[in-house]
Chain A
Amino acid sequence: DFQMTQSPSSLSASVGDRVTITCQASQDIKNYLNWYQFKPGEAPRLLIFDASKLETGVPSRFSGSGFGTDFTLTISSLQPEDVATYYCQQYDLLPRTFGQGTKLEIK
């Protein structure tokens, strides 16, 4: 069965820190990988699509990289408003699937 493995499951960092979240696919999904931000009570937000393209309106401190099976979401300088849960998601295969999520907190 196809698997998406996201790590870490939780992360605590200081304002201004560089934060990295990884997502690994169990088979090649090319660049069909998106990253989302979830905050309680809000509509989820698309941050990165096609593995590395920044969605309109998303701050440039967010970036994505990777191709094939290994992907990374990076926040270059963590801000208080970045407290959220982040998910990767593949759309190469059906059913569409998500990583397990990374809960990001401020230290």
Chain B
Amino acid sequence: QVHLQESGPGLVRPSETLSLTCTVSAGSISTYHWAWIRQLPGSGLEWIGYVSYIGSATYNPSLKSRVTMSVDTSKNQFSLKVTSVTAADTAIYYCTRGGGTWQYWGQGTLVTVSS
């Protein structure tokens, strides 16, 4: 059973960079696309983007200017960076496997943007 686990700071200061990592176990990262999705307070779910195992990424246009995704196949991990964060980026961030259908998910990590 593929397992995904998000890790990273739970608190980020406004204007700084949010950085999260997702570790994949019981399965190789060297296939599939790997995605990030966030659950905004009271505002539902937002697809942030996905990255292929070779590092080619596609982002949501709403966030594209601030988002970078990458893959580290040696560590079986993939990562998310969101720059210039504001309170509107406060959310539960999920990592998941797939380009459009997400069968395996992490449990999510709450990231709060606050000074």
Alpha-carbon separation in the docked complex, A38 to B46 (Å): 14
Does A67 lie at the interface of the complex (its beta carbon under 8 Å from any beta carbon of B)? no
Q: Quick one: which of B47, B100, B103, B104 contacts A32, CB cutoff 8 A? A: B100
* Interface pair A44/B94, CB less than 8 Å apart: yes
A/B pair count, beta carbons within 8 Å: 49
Within 8 A of A (CB), among B77-100: 94, 96, 99-100
* Interface pair A43/B61, CB less than 8 Å apart: no
Q: How many residues of B contact A (CB 8 A)?
A: 22
- Tell me what chain A mostly uses at the interface: helix, strand, loop, or mixed: loop
Does A65 lie at the interface of the complex (its beta carbon under 8 Å from any beta carbon of B)? no
A38: nearest chain-B partner, CB-CB: B39
* Interface pair B47/A44, CB less than 8 Å apart: no
Given known pairs A95-B60, A95-B62, A101-B44, the reply for A49 and B101 (CB within 8 Å) is yes
B105: chain A residues at CB < 8 Å are 43-45
- Tell me what chain B mostly uses at the interface: helix, strand, loop, or mixed: loop
Contact-residue size bin, chain A (C-beta under 8 Å from the other chain): 20 to 34
Interface positions of B (Cβ within 8 A of A): 4, 39, 44-47, 58, 60-62, 94, 96, 99-108
Interface positions of A (Cβ within 8 A of B): 32, 34, 36, 38, 41-46, 49-50, 55, 87, 89, 91, 94-101
Q: List 30 A-B contacts (CB under 8 A).
A: A34-B102, A38-B39, A43-B4, A43-B94, A43-B104, A43-B107, A43-B108, A44-B102, A44-B105, A44-B108, A45-B105, A46-B101, A46-B103, A49-B101, A50-B101, A55-B103, A89-B45, A91-B99, A91-B100, A91-B101, A94-B58, A95-B60, A95-B62, A96-B47, A96-B100, A97-B47, A98-B45, A100-B44, A101-B44, A101-B45
